[in-house]
């Protein structure tokens, strides 16, 4: 199996990561990531049929909280670190395409 990473994929991944990379960075990272990805393919030496994926180390489940109100931050504290604001809103350059949606 060869699932290595080439320049084109590095560009795609940079876009998915919202990183506006320079030409020089793209060049550098393509080489470095290729080396790391090649190293990672070492995993393929192991047979893992029937092995459960382990996402959590602890056998913990059902950790809930009660539906009880806790104080929120004061609006000023919530906005204190905002790079830009308008009234009590966070301000960002106009969002044109509406690709929101839960």
Partner 1 sequence: MLQGLNAIQLRNNIRDGQITSREAVEWTLERIANLDPGIGAYLSVFADKAMDQARVVDAKIAAGKPVGPLAGMPIAIKDNMCYVEGLTTCGSKILANFKPPYNAHAVEKLLAADAVIVGKTNMDEFAMGSSTENSGLQKTVNPWDTSRVPGGSSGGSAAAMAAGMCFAALGTDTGGSIRQPASLCGIVGLKPTYGRISRYGLVAYGSSLDQIGPLTSCVEDAALLLGVLAGHDERDSTSVDERMAPVPDYLGELGKPIDELKIAIVPELIDKAEASVRDAAKAALELYKKFGATLVEVQMPHFDYSIAAYYVIATAEASSNLARYDGCHYGYRSPHAHDYIEVYSKSRAEGFGAEVKRRIMLGTFALSSGYYDAYYLKALKVRNLIRQDYTNAFAKADCLMMPVAPTTAFKLGEKTDDPLQMYLADVYTIAVNLAGVPGVSIPCGFDEKRLPIGLQIIGPAFSEDKLLRIGRMFESKTDYHKQRPTLQG
Partner 2 sequence: MAAKVDYKVIVGLEIHVHLATRTKMFCGCELVYGGSPNSRVCPVCLGMPGSLPVMNKQAYEFAVLTAMALNCEIARFTKWDRKGYYYPDLPKNYQISQYDLPLSHDGFIEIPLEDGSIKRVGIIRAHLEEDAGKNTHELGNFSAVDLNRAGAPLLEIVTAPDMNSASEVRQMAQELQRIVRYLGISEADMQKGHMRFEPNVNLHINKDGQTYKTAICEIKNLNSFRAIERSVEYEVHRQLDEFLETGRTMQIGNKRTYGWDDVNQTTVLQREKEEAHDYRYFPEPDLVPVEMDEAWFEQIKSRLGELPLQKQKRFVGEYGLSNYDASVLTADKATAEYFEKVVQAGADAKRTCNLITQTGQKLANQNNTTVDKLGISPQNLAKLAQMADKGQISATAAAQIFEKMSQQNADPEQIAKADNLLQNSDAGAIEAIVDQVLAENVDAVQEIVSKGKKAGKAQGFLMGQVIQKSKGQANPKVVAEILSRKLAQISS
Does the protein bind partner 2 through residue 51 (CB under 8 A)? no
Does the protein bind partner 2 through residue 79 (CB under 8 A)? yes
- Cα angle 62, 67, 68; round to 5: 130
Closest to partner 2 by CB, 24 or 70:
70
Choose from partner 2, Mg ion, partner 1, none: what does 33 bind? Cβ within 5-8 Å by kind. partner 1
Distance CA 4, CA 33 (A): 9
Does the protein bind partner 2 through residue 67 (CB under 8 A)? yes
Instruction: Please choose, from the candidates 4, 70, 76, the residue with its C-alpha nearest in 3D space to the C-alpha of residue 34.
Output: 4
Contact residue for Mg ion among 57, 58, 74, 102 (CB under 5 A): 102
Q: Is 10 exposed, middle or buried (0-12, 13-18, 19+ CB in 10 A)?
A: buried
Does the protein bind partner 2 through residue 101 (CB under 8 A)? yes
In the range 3-42, which residues lie near partner 2 by CB under 8 A?
Answer: 16, 18
């Amino acid at each position: 199996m060869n699932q290595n990473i080439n320049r084109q994929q590095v560009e795609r991944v940079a876009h998915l990561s919202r990183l506006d990379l320079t030409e020089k960075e793209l060049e550098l990272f393509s080489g470095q990531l290729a080396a790391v990805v090649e190293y990672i393919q070492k995993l393929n030496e192991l047979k893992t049929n029937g092995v459960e994926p382990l996402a959590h180390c602890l056998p913990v489940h059902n950790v809930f909280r009660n539906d009880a109100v806790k104080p929120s931050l004061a609006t000023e504290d919530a906005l204190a670190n905002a790079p830009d604001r308008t009234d009590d809103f966070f301000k960002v350059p106009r969002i044109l395409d509406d690709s929101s949606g839960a």
